[in-house]
Amino acid sequence: MHRYFFEISYNGTHYAGWQSQPNAKGVQEVVENALSKLLRQDIEIVGSGRTDAGVHCEQQFFHVDVDQELDSILFLGRLNAFLPKDIAIQSVHPVKEDAHARYGATERSYEYRITLKKNPFLEGLALHYFKSLDVQTMNRAAALLVGQQDFESFSKVKTDVSNFRCDVKVAEWRQNAHLLIFHITANRFLRGMVRAIVGTLLDVGAGKLTVADFEKILKARDRKMAGMNAAPYGLFLTRVAYPESLFIQKVIA
């Protein structure tokens, strides 16, 4: 058997997230169907993580085991021809047989994008937030997220994890004219974590919460104390990082 990492990007508007739901289609199902048709065998893929319904992805990986060697560039073109316009495979990477798309990842990065001015070209790709925000105070609160700590206050209540500890490397807001983007990088993320953090930080920026309030919420380990989840369509998974030692050869189209 040969194991490959596939780099994927997608617009999540019309999907129930990475995994399919009982009455809705997920990105994983669409890709598995395309691969199964191309390879003429039942294919199951293992993703680097999950995204919620409506969330977008600029870079994610999944691994596949196949019983034949693939011509990466040729197969890339054929697979993309089978996929809908809102899903694209960006590259194919032969990897070592024990490389794992989920457990081998060392870091993941997300962006949450907000437009402070109505923009038809960002419809469905950024949250339009029309109230005034104190970005400097939001960044003071965001700085409290950095480090290894418990993020249960920002996790969905029903989730199958053994602990809520994450090691956040970066958490900051950057503004360019009317576009405001929250950047966060960590070793792992809990379900709903980024959207809950963003929703709570927006309450800080709007003056509903102080930085001290935010710190209390973080330490409380109680989801009911945090703010509402920000809308899914403003969220992008932007990067998944792996050790170079996992790759046999890197092929990018």
**What is the pLDDT, as a whole number, of residue 214?**
98
Other beta carbons within 10 angstroms of residue 236's beta carbon come to 23
Greatest CA span in the chain, whole angstroms? 58
Active site residue 222: no
At 20 the pLDDT is 78
56 forms beta bridges with: 236
CATH 3.50.50.60 fits 2-104, yes or no: no
The single-letter code of the amino acid at 62 is F
Is 0.85 surpassed by the pTM of this model? yes
CATH architecture of 107-238: 2-Layer Sandwich (3.30)
Q: Which ranges in the chain are annotated with CATH 3.30.70.660?
A: 107-238
Per-position pLDDT tens, the chain of length 253: 899 999 999 999 999 999 877 888 999 999 999 999 999 989 999 999 999 999 999 999 999 999 888 888 889 999 999 999 999 999 999 999 999 999 999 999 999 999 999 999 999 999 999 999 999 999 999 999 999 999 999 999 877 788 999 999 999 999 999 999 999 999 999 999 999 999 999 999 999 999 999 999 999 999 999 999 999 999 999 999 999 999 986 544 3
Q: Which of 52, 86, 203, 222 is catalytic?
A: 52
- Domain(s) labelled CATH 3.30.70.580 in the chain stretch across 2-104
Q: How far is CA 96 from the centre of its chain?
A: 24
